[in-house]
Amino acid sequence: MTNNEIKLQNKTDIKAQAQIFIGSVLVSTGLAGPGKTCVLPAAAGRFDIFLRNGATGWEIARKLDIEERSLTLIKESKGWYVINAD
């Protein structure tokens, strides 16, 4: 994995669509199935990531103004989806 890639590991039971933005510009998008890993190209520097339910399109999680390159989507016990930096 180079510094210009973002690795998203999906540890949930749903498909998650990831969208990477720099400012208001959509840089890349990808789909990670349950238990799968998705590698997204992105420019070096800070970015915003939005995750949507792959079936419904509803936003499930977001993380703004980050620069971590390895992320994990998990579901907490209360039912919330959370993006953790590895």
Tokens linked to 84: 């953790």
The one-letter code for the residue type at 59 is: E
The total of structural domains in the chain comes to: 1
Please report, for residues 8, 32, 34, 59, 75, the alpha-carbon distance to residue 13 in angstroms, rounded to integers and kept in the order given.
15, 11, 5, 15, 9
Please report, for residues 14, 24, 45, 73, the alpha-carbon distance to residue 32 in angstroms, rounded to integers and kept in the order given.
9, 23, 23, 10
CATH of the domain at 31: 2.60.40.2890
The rounded distance, in Å, linking the Cα atoms of 60 and 17 is 10
Full domain range(s) for residue 57? 5-85
pLDDT tens for the chain, 86 residues: list them.
567 899 999 999 999 999 999 999 999 999 999 999 999 998 889 999 999 999 999 999 999 999 999 999 999 988 899 999 97
| pTM of structure | 0.90
Say if CB 12 and CB 80 are below 8 A apart: no
